[in-house]
Structure 1
């Protein structure tokens, strides 16, 4: 039976079992939503690291009374992954304003977003902080930005760089001598005509271009100044330039949560271990309002394209309570019946509705966000204790085991044309993946590409200690491969005297599609197929895919270490010049890891596809 959740200090059984949920939660930035037993929203929060932040609520001690009260009411938690912490901040504000969770005490005063306002003064406009946009204002607004502190810091930096005035028009028109801002070199004193309107306009144009993200040359100038200060051993000045660059990049960062216009339903689709997950990202008036997820059931023969088409038709047209249909429905790939769907949805809504996949800019980023959230939601679903336990029961019945296996291990081999061969061993217990017991084995002394010999070596090294009573004996072992690999495993087990551990081979079918696997029992040498909707097969697929993923990760790490390459050097398309530009722009690898795809794409010489490659490589995707 699965473990019971720990009781709270009051002795009451908590509604939410956090352990399996946190085990698979991503460490990327995003927003989390906590719901009560009745489905009502309790709390909305944002995090730079979702796993770390959500885990902090479930510490056994040191919690505030409010946090204890919140945790005692949590029944479910949902997360939305974003591209950066800044995007998470804006999405958090949107959700709090629309949902008004009872445990959120901040951001409930309906304050508007902070903006930078460029006034409409004829000769000498000012750059000032504004809370909200006014339709009556004749100037230009830049933003919105995630917080007032970030805007004020940014304005402070812009005043240092461009010396644009920040006083009101009334104050400006009544000055007869320069104010303190001029004395501390933060303003060029246009109030006393200390600068010509033409020169002031040029400074203002550069400032506006930078706020619009159109002037990377400004950062380039600062980078050169920072390098010059470093060569001159003026490290304090170099640190000031570094901080300025950080602020300036933060200001110009384009947001995927705010910025575009229009309404759209954006879909992400992922499949793993026989389970399909569809995530709907709802965008209204250019704002991402949150996500919904679905786990539709389909036959294994239907393609992902067909599954999404079937879902859209049923979701929008298959019930009396038709949901609101926006003008744009964005899908991750071209649907064969997209035109037919568009016609049907347009007829139902009484206006044009378009199903499309070929989009750019903000809409492309929305699609990427939906895909990321589908992947995260699916992983959380697979790690759910109830789901895992149900699959363990089905596995026991399928293999006719006396009891539910408490420890299962699966092996896979990975290499590149025989180079740097590694073997992975992943371990599952009754709660799912037991990552602390995962192991990578470097394979030595075998012919390049000889997977049979590699499998024999890793099994020998893994289980030889069992003869002396050391090591942990598994209840069930899976081998990713057909009868060839299984025969090798059987020989190793016989040589080591292991005759009480079931040994199962997992061979891909002729089409190599999920659901078409053939299982081979080493004891009877019998091969058999399992229905594609079997929970037992889904568990076996889950273990096999995890072993495959871990083997590839281990192989890449070994390959890069042997070639003495840094993380950046192992990325295709990123040569010495681009690596140098990345380091110069961000200041180090740690900052590059924190950056979103949009930020990486702003570096000189980086295209968006290449930025996506860099981001994926640094996050092992």
Structure 2
């Protein structure tokens, strides 16, 4: 089957033109799984299907390709532009996806207003002619930055309309934090001069803010307003911290984004370091998924997607890889000239090294985290298969528990762990109507019902056989549970886990004790504890509902049947309590007298 598909694809590849363009790889359902650009479509697309050794990440993508489409463009630049837009629109699985997904905060100043406000935003409005500063990552706390601005400059922080002058000033005016443009206490020119100070501050000139805060701190101290003086001191400390991030060797007011790439096997990390006003305002790391054939393509694709997401492009970029097409794309997208430095000379080489060093540390931590995740999931499953002698790898584990607080409202839970992780959409609950309090018999009943549901094939949760069933308890509980599988002819592994010593019992009568730090045991404990929690919660909710129904039945003329009708309509008692008489009467079977009785009961 796969050979036929590849033969058809190769035949289609032979007909491709040798011109620039964009190609789209499609899966068996016609979904786009990868978008790429090419200087020569025929050469590039055919390279995927040649019998040559490929990177594993590329081979994975090729194995899922069932067809492809292509678009011819007039130039490589047009291909890059189209590729960027299509990736942003379709978000294909094997393209670079910005895993972080954040919209980072910016500071926005709208100079179109007579009296501009300074605001924090995560959304950049296209062509609104406002000034944006940022993005601010982890290095600079934007909340602290706004505190400095509000303490140092007399700019309004309200959003009231200034169409008509207000009659009185707000508190900020009286404590010296606003020029009160709302009452026209200042001219447009005076206010704009204050805004210019804020702009200079955000571009890196910290001297004005430092002087203002020092003066305020002294005044507050002399007035023995020590709490306010301490606030000003803390603001000064923040300015000192920002100043310490000044990048040596850069001219003042320069804005730069630095892109560093580090790779290890199939894992790639791009680190973005943002410098604004010659000061480092943030470093952010991105795990990237890609099927690119080269590091240069990876960086190019990342940069285009990054700026489509972040909107604002500085005039200076540092990255190891560049091309005329990338420069032209950035110029066209940003509307201004772009300088790209390769990082081969000072100070740009230090900036690139710094970004790559951050990326390396992040990559190493990610690899360690992935290794630990594998130990807790696939590693734990392999441990269980080996130590317990299971017939298959327990990819799907079902855990069952019985709950019967006080011997009433007996229920059972079924929880599912797939690949070592919770699969909550597969959880199911059972009500048990058997007389008496016999957990052995109840478990036998629940497992029999589960098998019957599998045979019906109507519920997706029951549609797949488990690789392993886990119940709480010792050998007797296990024997009763196993008998239900045996009676149904189900060839599925089943074990029990006893709480006290965490002993694992097998159907052949053997007992296995694993060390408390064994990941296989921890996985079983997670399944056991989750099934217990789920059963207890269901039992409590059931008891609460019974109590609520009993309360309703105590109201004159409200029968059990009417209670069921009300719950079917309103779902919860709180909704019944808050309903009006008219809303209660709108329920079929609830007359005026009954509705009034219910309403009076909860509103007296």
* Structure number with larger C-alpha Rg: 2
TM-score of the aligned structures, taking structure 1 as reference length:
0.34
Structure with bigger RCO (C-alpha 8 Å, 6+ apart): 1
TM-score of the aligned structures, taking structure 2 as reference length:
0.35
